[in-house]
Amino acid sequence: MTLDTSSNVNTDSDITGRRGIVLVLCAPSGTGKTTLTKRLLKEFPRFSFSISYTTRQPREGEVHGKDYFFVTEEEFCEKRDAGFFAEWAEVHGKFYGTPKEATLNMLEQGYDIIFDIDVQGASQLYGNLKQGCYVFILPPSREELENRLRGRGTDDEATIMRRIANAQKELEQAHWFNAWIVNDDLEKAYDQLRSAYIAATLSPQSSPDLVDSIMEDWR
């Protein structure tokens, strides 16, 4: 899913000159992905967010069409089966999905979109959007990941072991990502994430007409 849906339009005047990119971040729980993502968003205000669809009930203060599109399970499944979503998932018995067409429209307008999702969602995005920079953030070791999970003090032993088992399954899928970052030092890991994002903005996919426009002088 998208990281956040509280602000789906970025009014930064820098939105010109290139197509937006999709930046997808995946990592096992406890690896530090959320901290890294927040730093990236603070430094680069160009990022925007699509509004997700969900079958859960709105929480206090949430507005339909601004925070989420709140729909019934029947409506969601109809859209899912029609290929409406770029990615979707079931979380705690409720469905969440990112609309494909709206996402593509935002990219055409020059907005970069960041996704903080699991490996399954990343795989769906890769298959549906055919573009993006996919970054996998790794823990230094199993031992260190266990230490971090225990240090949070929020999970019981069974939950920690389940997260470790899930981490192994996720790591087995890291081979198809564009970039790997080991978060053993926060400053180093952030510098690498920042570099991966900047490099993605320089790809030919981001500015497909650039060379032709420059070569006009040769014609």
pLDDT in tens, 77-90: 999 999 999 999 98
- Establish if 88 belongs to a structural domain: yes
Give the per-residue pLDDT at 16. 52
Is the pLDDT at 36 greater than 70? The verdict is yes
Structural contact between residues 49 and 2, judged by C-beta atoms closer than 8 angstroms:
yes
Give the per-residue pLDDT at 184. 95
- Establish if 138 belongs to a structural domain: yes
Domain span including residue 145: 22-205
**Interval 72-77 mean pLDDT:** 97
163 vs 178: CA distance, rounded Å: 24
Give the per-residue pLDDT at 78. 97
Q: How many domains does the chain have?
A: 1
Q: Across the strands, what pairs with 49?
A: none
**Interval 57-66 mean pLDDT:** 90
* Side-chain half-sphere CA neighbours of 1 within 13 A: 16
Is the pLDDT at 62 greater than 80? The verdict is yes
Q: What is the CATH number of the domain that holds 176?
A: 3.40.50.300
Confidence of residue 209 (pLDDT cuts 50, 70, 90): confident
Is the pLDDT at 10 greater than 50? The verdict is no
3-state secondary structure of 103: helix
- Establish if 215 belongs to a structural domain: no
Q: Which own/partner contact pairs does 40-46 have at CB distance under 8 Å and 24+ positions apart? A: 40/114, 40/190, 40/193, 40/194, 40/197, 41/3, 41/114, 43/194, 44/112, 44/197, 45/10, 45/12, 46/10, 46/12, 46/14, 46/15, 46/111, 46/112
- In tens, the pLDDT along 138-195 reads 999 999 999 999 998 888 899 999 999 999 999 999 999 999 999 999 999 999 999 9
**Interval 86-110 mean pLDDT:** 91
Tokens of 90: 């079931």
175 vs 180: CA distance, rounded Å: 9
Residue owning tokens 């699509």: 50
Give the per-residue pLDDT at 59. 87
199 vs 64: CA distance, rounded Å: 36
Confidence of residue 125 (pLDDT cuts 50, 70, 90): very high
Residues 6+ apart with CB under 8 A from 211: 204
In sign, the C-alpha dihedral spanning 159, 35, 91, 154 is positive
- Establish if 11 belongs to a structural domain: no
Is the pLDDT at 27 greater than 50? The verdict is yes
163 vs 199: CA distance, rounded Å: 32
User: Residues of the chain with pLDDT > 70: what percent?
Assistant: 93
Neighbours of 92 (CB within 10 A): 5
Phi, psi of 143 (to 5 degrees): -60, -45
Between 205 and 184, the higher pLDDT residue = 184
Give the per-residue pLDDT at 117. 86
- Establish if 57 belongs to a structural domain: yes
Mean pLDDT value across the chain? 88
Question: How far from 217 is each of 79, 147, 207, 210, 213, CA to CA, in Å?
Answer: 47, 60, 18, 13, 8
Closest by CA position to 23, among listed 92, 115, 131: 115
